[in-house]
């Protein structure tokens, strides 16, 4: 029998991860998989646990949660030099589910079925070096409005997944412009913008197609930015169009592909990395091609 490690975040999304796992367990065992369960109890608990998993203990790791849970898993694997040691399956029980949107596995039954198979893609990740620590990013690194919107969304967690829409609208209406020094593939410039997002995935948040030209296998970082010369109506137009990916056609939106990217805010600032907000003055991002084996 093959061994599966099931990672469950019980407070992810609508708090249904444990229920979904219990339904999936029977299917796993009927398919001759021996199931081991780990339930997280606090932030970074998943990362700490995964970093201690021995290389040959499991055939695959299945994550019941959202982008934050997946982020903890890949960073735990990275800490123990085990990124390539396990196949990784994702069961979308989180709020954002960017990975599931990119793979098209939003239905939990479909995702469970695929997690039992052998079909994989070698998925890129982005490495982000902050002032005092480094972290891998599965989905996005956002700065400017993108960060402050997420801070507000966390305060509205009782609203469930809709909190991202509410927080985004409020933050967009504030329309604050942010300044930083950025370096794109070695070229330095001053940036003034509403926000900038370094994307590994096409999707973010609740199905927003933030980087329609990107994806997990292109070995590039998609940089999306909204310039400073926009009014509140135009910024809100970005929010309206982002669910179809048509925002990149707006004249004040820029979409480029780079191998590396850095940002220096000149002071301590907030960055949104896969839904988690961290404080740092600087962030250096580079793509890590074909970093993990994702079951699809």
Strand positions, DSSP E, the chain: 2-8, 33-39, 60-65, 87-92, 120-129, 134-137, 140-144, 178-184, 187-199, 221-227, 253-258, 260-273, 276-295
Q: What is the pLDDT of residues 112-127, one digit of tens each?
A: 999 999 999 999 999 9
Q: What is the CATH number of the domain that holds 26?
A: 3.40.50.10330
What pLDDT is attached to residue 89? 97
* Structural domain includes residue 295: no
State whether 240 and 262 are in the same domain: yes
State whether 182 and 251 are in the same domain: yes
What pLDDT is attached to residue 44? 95
Please list the residues that pair with 178 across neighbouring strands: 193
* Structural domain includes residue 77: yes
What pLDDT is attached to residue 3? 94
Structurally, the chain folds into a number of domains equal to 2
Q: Tokens 């998925």, residue?
A: 123
User: Comparing 177 with 222, which gets the higher pLDDT?
Assistant: 222
Average pLDDT (190-214) is: 92
Q: How far is CA 39 from the centre of its chain?
A: 20
Which tokens in the block code for residue 74? 């890949």
* Structural domain includes residue 243: yes
CB 130 within 8 A of CB 278: yes
How far apart, in Å, do the first and last CA atoms of the chain sit?
A: 21
For 274: left if phi > 0, alpha if psi spans -120 to 50, otherwise beta; the answer is left
* Structural domain includes residue 296: no
The reported pTM is 0.89
Q: Quote the radius of gyration of the chain (alpha carbons, Å).
A: 19
* Structural domain includes residue 123: no
Number of Cβ atoms within 10 Å of the Cβ of 142? 27
Strand positions, DSSP E, 12-111: 33-39, 60-65, 87-92
**Where a domain ends, among 118, 143, 173?**
118
Q: Which domain holds residue 153?
A: 129-289
Q: What is the pLDDT of residues 53-95, one digit of tens each?
A: 999 899 999 999 999 999 999 999 999 999 999 999 999 998 8
Q: What is the CATH number of the domain that holds 140?
A: 2.60.200.40
What pLDDT is attached to residue 170? 66
State whether 154 and 280 are in the same domain: yes
Question: Residue 171 — pLDDT band, cuts 50, 70, 90?
Answer: low
State whether 74 and 22 are in the same domain: yes
Q: Which of 176, 165, 258 is nearest to 204 (CA)?
A: 165
What pLDDT is attached to residue 130? 98
Q: What is the DSSP letter of 162?
A: G
CB 56 within 8 A of CB 82: no
């Amino acid at each position: 029998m093959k061994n599966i490690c099931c990672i469950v975040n019980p407070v992810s999304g609508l708090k249904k991860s444990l229920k979904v796992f219990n339904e999936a367990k029977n299917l796993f065992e009927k398919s001759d998989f021996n199931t081991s369960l780990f339930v997280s109890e606090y932030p970074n608990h998943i990362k700490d646990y995964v970093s201690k998993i021995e290389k040959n203990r499991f055939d695959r790791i299945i994550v019941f949660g959202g982008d934050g849970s997946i982020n903890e898993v890949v960073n735990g694997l990275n800490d123990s030099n085990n990124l390539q040691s396990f196949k990784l399956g994702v069961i979308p029980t989180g709020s954002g589910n960017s990975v599931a949107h990119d793979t098209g596995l939003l239905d939990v039954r479909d995702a469970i079925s695929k997690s039992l198979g052998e079909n994989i893609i070698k998925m890129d990740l982005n490495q982000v070096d902050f002032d005092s620590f480094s972290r891998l990013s599965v989905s996005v690194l956002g700065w400017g409005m993108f960060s402050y919107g997420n801070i507000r969304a966390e305060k509205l967690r009782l609203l469930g997944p809709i909190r991202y829409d509410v927080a985004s609208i409020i933050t967009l209406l504030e329309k604050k412009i942010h300044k930083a020094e950025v370096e794109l593939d070695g070229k330095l410039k001053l940036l003034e913008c509403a926000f900038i997002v370094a994307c590994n995935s096409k999707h973010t948040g609740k199905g927003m197609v933030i980087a329609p030209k990107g994806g997990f296998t292109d070995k590039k970082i998609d940089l999306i930015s909204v310039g400073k010369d926009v009014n509140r109506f135009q910024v809100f137009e970005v929010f309206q169009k982002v669910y179809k990916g048509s925002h990149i056609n707006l004249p004040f939106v820029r979409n480029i592909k780079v191998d590396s990217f850095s940002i220096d805010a000149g002071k301590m600032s907030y960055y949104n990395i896969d839904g988690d907000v961290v404080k740092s003055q600087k962030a250096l991002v580079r793509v890590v091609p074909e970093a993990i084996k994702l079951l699809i």
